[in-house]
Structure formats: structure tokens, C-alpha cells
Amino acid sequence: MTLAHATTQSRIMAEIEANGSYRCASEKEQIAARKLNGKGLIRRDKKDGHLWHDPNAPVPASPAVVEAAQLPATVADASDLVVAIESARALLDAGDVQAALLLSTGLYERAKAGAAYAEKVKASRELIDKARRMQAEALKIESMCYVAMADAIDEAQAKGHVAKQGQAKVRDADVFTFDEVGIDKRRLHEARKLRNAVRAEPDFVERVVEARLEAGLEPSRRSISHAIGTKTATKEEKGDQLYETPEEATKTLLALESFSATVMEPAVGRGAILRVLEAAGYEAAIADLRDRGTVTQHGELQQVGDFLKSSPVIGARMDIVTNPPYGDVANAFLAHALRVHRPRKMAALLNLNFMCGFEDPDRRFLMDENPPSRVYVFTRRLPMMHRDGWDGPKASSQMNTAWFVWERNDDGCTYGRGDGRFETIRVDWQNYRSAPALTPGAGGHAAPFVFSSDDEDFTRETPRKTLDERCDEERSRALVWMLEHDAFDAVTLRRGIGVRPSVADALIAGLSADGLIEPRDGAEWALSDAGKLALEATAGALLLMKVAG
């Protein structure tokens, strides 16, 4: 022991003997006080980490964790919790991880109980928010204590200072067990996962906890654990980046954007986007890096190959709708789509952070040189996109996502405005769960829904055509298509001309009533002689109009 430490310790002891307690004013005094505490000569205050007492003085009764049956201290004594939280933070900053962990854990439980009680008795929103804020601050400290503990134990293990199971402990040796530091293997595993998440993203805990508060949700330990699952998977665990797209995402897109009647899905996975496309009346050409045995509704098997090595089929320019592989490959994947396949329109479900970044040339190509025309930002996070094979509980995502929609300009070469600017549109996927899709093959896009009141159904800002108007528009095209087919039914007609089932049924009913089609075996129909004459007359009239023009 140095003379300086001896002098500081003596002074602290003298103050406590004279006054019963002493508050340390510097880190030097804290170190000296902890040494005295280790010898049992003084006692740390349970709430204030910088306050020390005579170990023989009576300790006031104050439960560290409030039981559910008790009145939570958060409700009645919020100021004490605030002071105690700051003390826990000071302990962590001073390097006294065990003391900070013990204090923050108790404070978390007290604040949690207080918030639950406040909600139960329907207390004011302000009181509930205060309790949750204190719970959040305690959770942040507790989480960072586990991060520090994981680092300390890993360092100690590397030096051989952690006793192995069954190994005899030598008295006074600089060796400890997990039990002595208050942690078991399961908790250490969780601490290491949290530590890895914080290493990858230093403000990880802060962001997750604040996001819960902003959403009006409880900042719980479970939310931290849940968020870790989305951050710490290794490249080996992620494999080929298969994350199934929630149907809510695709339904929202199809209610706002219309694509070519046949759509390309080059990262089809197990068909999450495909099924929603087909239900809306689209045909699809599907492929994936891995052979997952995914088939279309017609039984056509997916193609297998690396999209980065693909080239378009001559004469086929299909729009693209996809949830591309995340990570570094996303930039190259989408840039290849625009450079090589050159779709009229492409929609990609991406992390909202895709707007940022400048180091990757492909990212600059996608966001600066050929920016999207529209970005539909989900105001409410989508249901979790779990990795393939995940069999755990379903939950909400920790990721903010958006549909990025690129649309080719009239020059046929470029996309977007070319100056990095695009339209950002906020949408809530819950409003589109039962919304009808725009007509396949029609092109264009619609404005988001406008809500007048909670009691009214949603309507578009743009007028919606009636079924009769839609049939009048499609009648001639349907007859031309029928002329090329010996027989058809409602399903093949719908797919052939890219209309909704209701339009296909109405067309068949109307054309049958006019005698332009006639029934065949089963549920099939064929163009009648009257229908063929009507087509010839229409073609003749169009020819005369062209000559006259």
C-alpha cells in the first residue's frame, strides 16, 4: 500500500468515525473506499455508490426489488430512483461493475413494477412515461455492465485466472469462479452476445431502448435479447441471406404500384413475394441462387443460378419485384438489375439505411446516378423477417424498411431524376392488409390512402374505375386474345390479359350475353362465329380510320 493510499484511507476512516458516513469526492477516494470496504471496515450505501458508512451502524429497511403486492417505489418515490440510477451509472463509470450491476438490476425491477402498477390503476400518461424512462435508464446501465463483465471474464480466461469446473481452488491465488462473480454459463453466453452487438454498433443498447420508448412500449430485457438476434448472426449463420418477406409488405406495394403482367423475382426464396403476386393476378418468372424447389402456380420450377451472372431473355423486358440478399451483395445485385436487365420498373424491399452510404460505386450508381423515383417508407415496422429455418417466436422487426421503386425514364436509358432526389412516401402497412391491388400490366402508381375518420373506409385520392368501365376498356383486348386460343376459362383469361378475377368473370358474362363467345366442354368457352365477325368488323373500321388519317 502506498503512503498516499494509506493517508486517504485514514482520512476516510476518521470522517466516518466522526460523522457516521463520508461521501467520496474523487476517483482516488473511491478506490481507497473500496479497499476499506473489501476489508469490512466501511459499508457502501445501497442507493448512493459514492456514500460510505460505519459497518456497525443500523441499515434502514429498503427492499432492493419491489414485489408485485407492494406499492411500487417508482410511483411513490421517483426522486430516490433518479438519484440511485445516477449512482449506478457513476459506479459503472468508475469501473465497479459488480456494484453497478447489483444496483441497476434492483432499480430495473423497481421501475418495471412501478410502471406496471401505474398502468393497472390507470395513472396519468406522464407518470407511466416517467416510470418507463427510469426502467429504460436502469436497463441501459445493466446491459452495459454485462458488456463490461463479458470483456473482463474473457480477458481473465485468456490469462488463466478463471477456475475450470472441478479444478481445486488454491487459497489466496488470483483465480475466481463464475459463482464468485455472480454469473453462470448461460448468462455469460448472453452477455457475450450483447457485447458483440455493441462492438458492431456502439449505440446498440441506446437505440433499441429508445426505440421501444418512442413506440410507447416497455423497455424490457426481452426487447434487448430479441434485438440481439437480428444483429449478431455470423456470415456462416446467415448463409445465403434468405429472409422471408412478410406478405404485408408485398400487399402494400401492389396496392400502390402496378407492374408488367409478368414479373421477375430473381431472389424468390421459398416464394413469399411470389404467392402474393400470383394472388393479385400476376405471372412470374422466378429464380434463386439455391434450388429450394419453389414452383409457380402453373408448376413451373424456379431457375437456379447467380443473378449477377444473368442476362435478359431477348424480347422479354419484365419488371422486377424482389427482396434482394442483404449485406454487401445488395448493391451489386440491384445495380446489375438496372444495368443489364433494364426493367421498366423495379421494386426492392430494403433497409431504410440504403439511402445512405457513398463508398460502394454500385450504391452511388443506384442512389445518385440512377436514383429511385419513389421510396415507400413503412412508418410501422414490418413483422420480423426471420432467417430461413427459424422456428422461434414471431415478433416485430428491429429494422426500418422501405420499398425502393426505380422507374425508367422516357429516354429508355436512365432512371430517376439523376440528381439524387426522389419522392419519399410514408405508409402504414396495416392500412393495406385488405386493400385491392392495382391492375397487373396497367402500369403507373396510386397515391397512398387518405383517411377521413375512423368510421369511414379508405379511398384513394385518384378515382377508382367501376367494373363496367374496366370491362369496356378490356373488351377488345379480350376478344383478340380469345381469337388466338381454341378454348379458355375464367382463370386462363385473367392470366392471359392481366386482369382481376372480377373483371374476367364480368367479361365472360357480358360477351356470352352478347353471343360473342359460346360454352365448350366443362367450364370452358370459345369465341363464336359472331365474335369473329365482330373482330373482323372492328379491324376493318380501324384500317379505314388509319387510311383516312
Angle of helix 185-200 versus helix 221-229 axis, rounded to 10: 60
Given a contact cutoff of 8 angstroms between Cβ atoms, the answer to whether 336 and 307 are in contact is yes
Element (H, E) at 147: helix 125-158
Which parts of the chain have pLDDT scores under 50? Answer: 1-5, 61-76, 166-173, 232-241, 386-396, 451-462, 542, 546-547
Counting every residue, how long is the chain?
549
Going through 305-386 in order, the beta strands assigned E by DSSP cover 319-322, 345-351, 374-378
CB-based contacts of 192: which residues, under 8 Å, 6+ apart?
Answer: 150, 154
Distance CA(162)–CA(176), nearest Å, equals 5
How do beta strands 43-44 and 401-407 pair? unpaired
Given a contact cutoff of 8 angstroms between Cβ atoms, the answer to whether 387 and 338 are in contact is no
**Hey, what's the cell of 431?**
392500412
Handedness of CA 300, 306, 308, 309 (dihedral sign): negative
HSE, side-chain direction, 13 A CA sphere, residue 443: 6
10 Å CB burial of residue 129 (0-12, 13-18, 19+) is middle
Percentage helix, strand, coil for the chain under 3-state DSSP, each rounded to 5 = 45, 15, 40
Amino acid symbol at 402: A
Element (H, E) at 264: strand 262-265
Q: What is the gyration radius of the CA atoms in the chain, in angstroms? A: 33
Element (H, E) at 286: strand 283-288
Domains of the chain listed by start with CATH number: 63-229 (no CATH), 247-432 (3.40.50.150), 467-548 (1.10.10.10)
Distance CA(344)–CA(331), nearest Å, equals 19
> Distances in Å between the alpha carbon of 366 and those of 64, 239, 267, 541?
55, 25, 18, 47
**Hey, what's the cell of 308?**
449477377
Distance CA(494)–CA(282), nearest Å, equals 9
Structure confidence at residue 163 (pLDDT): 55
Structure confidence at residue 403 (pLDDT): 97
DSSP state string for 368-380 = IIS--SEEEEESS
Structure confidence at residue 312 (pLDDT): 86
Structure confidence at residue 308 (pLDDT): 93
Distance CA(526)–CA(485), nearest Å, equals 8
Distance CA(499)–CA(493), nearest Å, equals 8
- Looking at the DSSP assignment, which residues form a beta bridge with residue 17? none
Distance CA(372)–CA(439), nearest Å, equals 22
Structure confidence at residue 349 (pLDDT): 96
**Hey, what's the cell of 289?**
441462387
